Amino acid sequence: MIEQPAMVKICDIREESPLVKTLFFESSMNFIPGQFIMVWIPMVDEKPFTVSSIQKNLLGISVLKKGTFTDLLHQKRIGDTIGIRGPYGNGFHLQPELHSCVVGGGIGIASLATVIDTLPKITIIQGTRTASEIIYRKRFTDMRFCTEDGSLGFRGTTVDLLEDIVKKQQFQKVYTCGPEKMMFKIVELCKKHHIACEVSLDRYIKCGFGICGQCDCSGQRTCVEGPVFTIPELNTMEDFGRVALLKTGERVDVNNHRQLSYISIDNAK
Amino acid sequence: MSKLNLSVRVGNIQLRNPTILASGILGVTKALLKRVAENGAGAVTTKSMSKEPREGHKNPTVITFEAGMLNAVGYSNPGIEKAAREFADIQDVGVPAIASVIGTHKEDFVRVVEGLSGTHFSAIEIPLSCPHTPGFGLLAGQGTPQATFEITSAVRKVTELPLFIKLSPSIPEISTIAKAAEDAGANAITAVNSMGPGMIINIEAQKPILDYKVGGVTGDALRPIATRCVYDLYEAINIPIIGTGGVSTGRHAIEMMMAGASAVGIGTGVYYRGIDVFKKICEEISQWMRENSISDINTIKGAAHD
């Protein structure tokens, strides 16, 4: 496989919320939920996004407006082109036979949207800071919401809501994507309740195919061995919930650095 | 047949096999270098370290094509102070580790090497040959015999570690530059860095794909050129050569050693065959040695010469 972007034409655009748009384009790419693609704007930059919608040959990426790159994606019109390459990464290990729950924090729900499509009988939790940030309300009609300000659904974090739900309902597996602090707590909760869990990690991704080393998390390449990791794998990864690398390779607190925020909040992966 | 010997020496460094992770591939963290060692590498090289932190070029920084890879990463690294912390206990990697050191002025190289004191690297590698980063390598005029001599001499004064100088294939007089390095006290030559720079244009976008527009060419396209450089150097210098450029199979490694290399660098091979490329290459070398009744890899070194 040659790792170069191919140009695709945007054929539809859906406004999901004031800050999130889903851009649709035709591609025959064989995408597994949890994988990611690299999106290229010529002469500007290239960044990782999950595919949030798959309908035959029509793929979609949900883009949170967050910085220069995503601003430019939001300015795209039907008929404009973007470059894509991939898919990259391992994807979720989907187990339709299990009672499962997906937990999406912020734009992290975009990484889980194709999981929800594939596993129809699951509990869905979407958490945001406030009601206007909630997306996919028409697409998934049976979501449980939580907002930090209480403007929609449960007031509090996704972790609080999940803890509440597991008291009444037995899950065998949780799929999650969102801020790492949230995922770290969800993993702790799952360990306590003996629930299997897969998380989709955010790291600064450069090559996407495992040779540059920039997305290292304790010796695991997020772009190849990840971005999806299981609890046994996370148990061996000290950096999970703690450390991420900046563009320079400097190790910083994963929960507390602006430069990282575009990957953890900007369309996760 | 008796046990095969794959161990080689580069200067005074003993390697369990001739495969060395080339600089710029995976060497961002100690954890990844350790993983490369666990996947069979005889030695590993860090990503290049400069005095100050560098974010490098914007993406796309690495792409591939039919005959290899094109990259313009732009020497992203956290600067020597933080890099030295990352690699403080580099001996944990379990195989010899080589620190790649870059700079714009010769004083920068000295500062970076001094910044590594207290770490446990086995050697220092100095690339004077990057084709695509302003202020470094070829774009800073470091690919001349005089600059090579001056930088090598300056670093030689501040470290007792073996010094490897990494040279460009894109310069006609590679032997002259290698001799300048040897005269200045280098202990080995790494041949070669990426060639070019080259360019790949997306014809639908009508723009170069790399954000920096041009980048160094590696992989299959580079191999015959790297092999020729190693062949020429073997005749011209007396210090060992690390043959680097398009080596991704055991046969390639053997070819490079027959040209005169004491060990081989592996970079783009990680893309071609995965992180366990080192193990695969060593198995293929062993099989070839058995088939050809060769028990010691060192006996093939330079075999291609008259």
CB B137 within 8 A of CB B50: no
* Helix locations, A123-246, DSSP H: 158-168, 180-192, 231-235
Name the pTM for this structure: 0.95
In a domain, A268, yes or no: no
User: In this predicted structure, what is the pLDDT of residue A268?
Assistant: 34
From A43, A207, A210, residue closest to B275, measured CB to CB: A210
Tell me which chain B residue has its CA closest to the CA of residue A43: B211
Question: Residue A154: what pLDDT?
Answer: 96
Sorting pLDDT into bands at 50, 70 and 90, what band is A1? confident
**Beta strand A154-155 pairing with A143-147:** parallel
Residue A267 belongs to some domain of the structure: no
Strand extents, DSSP E, chain B:
8-10, 13-15, 19-21, 44-45, 62-65, 68-71, 97-100, 123-127, 163-167, 188-191, 195-198, 201-202, 207-208, 215-218, 241-244, 263-266
At a CB cut-off of 8 Å and minimum separation 6, what does B105 contact? none
pLDDT, average across residues A21-50: 97
A93 falls within a domain: no
- Residues of B labelled catalytic: 130
CATH of the domain at A226: 3.40.50.80
Query: Closest approach of chain A CAs to the CA of B209, in angstroms?
Result: 7
Same domain, residue pair A74 and A110: no
- The answer to whether the Cβ–Cβ distance between B202 and A211 falls below 8 Å is no
**Which residue type is seen at A112?**
L
Residues A218 and A114 in one domain: yes
**Do the beta carbons of residue B262 and residue B7 sit within 8 Å?**
no
**What domain count does chain A have?**
2
The predicted pLDDT at position A265 comes to: 36
Residues A77 and A104 in one domain: no
Tell whether A121 and A238 lie within a shared domain: yes
Residues A138 and A69 in one domain: no
What's A69's domain CATH number? 2.40.30.10
- Best mutation site among A80, A214, A252 for testing chain B: the one with the most B CBs within 10 Å? A214
A64 & A142 share domain = no
Looking at residue B300, what is its pLDDT? 98
Looking at the fold, whether A43 and A114 belong to one and the same domain comes out as: no
Q: Which residues pair with B208 in a beta bridge?
A: B201
pLDDT for res A264? 37
Give dist(CA B213, CA B169) in Å, integer. 20
Residues A43, A128 share a domain? no
Cα A66 to Cα B284: distance, rounded to the nearest angstrom: 49
What does the pLDDT profile of chain B (306 residues) look like in tens digits? Answer: 568 999 999 999 999 999 999 999 999 999 999 999 999 999 999 999 999 999 999 999 999 999 999 999 999 999 999 999 999 999 999 999 999 999 999 999 999 999 999 899 999 999 999 988 999 999 999 999 999 999 999 999 999 999 999 999 998 889 999 999 999 999 999 999 999 999 999 999 999 999 999 999 999 999 999 999 999 999 999 999 999 999 999 999 999 999 999 999 999 999 999 999 999 999 999 999 999 999 999 999 999 999
Contacting residues of A for B25, CB less than 8 Å apart: 211-213
Residue whose C-alpha is closest to residue A83's, from A20, A16, A14, A3: A3
ipTM, two decimals:
0.94
User: Residues A108, A216: one domain?
Assistant: yes
Q: If residue A6 lies in a helix (H) or strand (E), which one and from where to where?
A: strand A6-17
The domain boundary, picked from A88, A117, A143, lies at A88
Nearest CA in chain A to B206: A42
Q: Is the pLDDT reported for residue A39 higher than 50?
A: yes
Q: Residue B66 and residue A245: Cβ atoms within 8 Å?
A: no
To the nearest whole angstrom, how far is the Cα of B161 from the nearest Cα of chain A? 25
Chain centroid to CA B19: 11
CATH of residue B173's domain is 3.20.20.70
Q: What integer pLDDT is reported at residue A255 of this predicted model?
A: 85
Residue B66 falls inside a structural domain: no
Which chain A residues are within 8 Å of B275, Cβ to Cβ? 210, 221, 224
pLDDT tens digit sequence for B29-75: 999 999 999 999 999 999 999 999 999 999 999 999 999 999 999 99
Which residue range is the domain that position A238 belongs to? 100-256
Nearest CB partner across the interface for A5, out of B31, B209, B275: B209
The three-point CA angle B203-B205-B210 to 5° equals 90
Q: Is residue B134 part of a domain?
A: yes
- Segment A160-171 shows an average pLDDT of 94
Rg (C-alpha) for chain B, rounded Å, is: 18
Domain containing residue B112 = 8-50+79-193+220-300
Segment A70-102, tens digit of pLDDT: 999 999 999 999 999 999 999 999 999 999 999
Give me the phi and psi of A125, to 5 degrees please.
-115, 125
Rama region for A3: left / alpha / beta (φ>0; ψ in -120 to 50; rest): beta
Here the tokens at position A146 are: 């939580």
* Nearest CB neighbour to B54, from listed A206, A219, A248: A248
Chain A residues with CB-CB distance to B63 below 8 A: 3-5
Pair (A210, A249) in one structural domain: yes
Query: What is the rounded distance in angstroms from the CA atom of residue A234 to the CA atom of residue A220?
Result: 10
Longest dimension (CA), chain A: 52
Establish if A263 belongs to a structural domain.
no
Q: What total of structural domains would you count in chain B?
A: 1
Contact B248, B269 (CB under 8 A): yes
Of A2, A7, A249, Cβ closest to residue B66: A2
Contact B298, B61 (CB under 8 A): no
